[in-house]
Amino acid sequence: MSVVFDKESTRVAFGNALVRMAEEDDTIMYVAADTLKSVGGTQIKQKYPNRALNIGIAEQNMALMGAGMAASGAKVFVATYATFASMRICEQIRTFICYPNLDVKIVAGLSGLSGGQEGVTHQGIEDVGVLRSIPNLVIVEPADAASTEVITEAITKHKGPVYMRIGRNASPTVFDDTYKFEIGKANSLIDKGNDAAIFTTGAAVRRALDAEKILAAEGYGVKVIEMPCIKPLDEEAVIAAAKATGLVFTTEDHNIIGGLGSAVSEVLSEKYPARVERIGIRDQFTESADHEELLDKYCLLPRDIADCVIAGIKNK
């Protein structure tokens, strides 16, 4: 199955969009914790050097600086790796950014397994679970470069805290410049039948679409629904898919505990009980390897997703 990759990574796409927004809004600031190059800050530093700060490996200070600048009227992007953006600065996000509902965007690089060979310290597979319970925080995850640019522009215009997951290397192309995004809304990508519904987000979107091709070739008709916004979740889309199919799958580049799968399960347990199967990292620490090798090891490739869906359909 051939896959076309973006010319740019999601982190570069974020940086491109940020510069465009900074041209229009002189209140935009960028603060990085020794991650200026690796989390999309190169472009804004080159064009607006006084509006991009690299403060070194001091993530808690970074978050507090962002909160202080936002309290003074700035629109601030703070950027580091997902493991640090969720766990090392969790208290600062909760108490000093989200509690006062400040206009700070937390950009989390190396999300999911994109950290690859850097290992467990840099593989952000728990971050959504850590942060999803914090009030006022919007959580988004683009699937590719095109959607990253659109989502970056949207969250820049949103007044309030946002956490955005992005990856490391060029991602498989999913969307183009016609991509639409709205906070709290799902995107229906494929609707070829009611055998099952697959909800997906971020880097897992391309794999879910490829899994659907396998399923279609084997005679199964499913729905594939992108959830670029994990919080707030599009509950109406979740309930509608469950009513139509009676069988819901989630696939994500995250631990199955606390992420998209948990969010979907919570909605359905309260509002329309239906069977849910979560595809992701199964509550374990991951190893160091190339990204594709990790996807294979943890059964997250398109064939793995398709096999899981087929098994579920056969047991409906």
pLDDT of residue 163: 99
Phi, psi of 265 (to 5 degrees): -60, -40
Burial class (CB in 10 A: 0-12, 13-18, 19+), 314: exposed
Share the mean pLDDT of the chain. Answer: 96
CA distance 241 to 263: 15
pLDDT of residue 170: 78
pLDDT of residue 6: 60
The pLDDT averaged over each successive group of 10 residues in the chain (316 residues) is 66 95 97 92 96 97 98 98 97 99 98 90 95 99 97 98 92 92 99 99 97 99 99 99 99 98 99 98 95 95 98 95
Query: Which pTM does this prediction carry?
Result: 0.96
Predicted confidence (pLDDT) per residue in 57-116, tens digit: 999 999 999 999 999 999 999 999 999 999 999 999 999 999 999 999 999 999 999 988
pLDDT of residue 122: 92
pLDDT of residue 143: 97
Domains of the chain: 5-172 (3.40.50.970), 187-314 (3.40.50.920)
pLDDT of residue 3: 57
Q: In this structure, are residues 109 and 82 in contact, taking their beta carbons and an 8 Å threshold?
A: yes
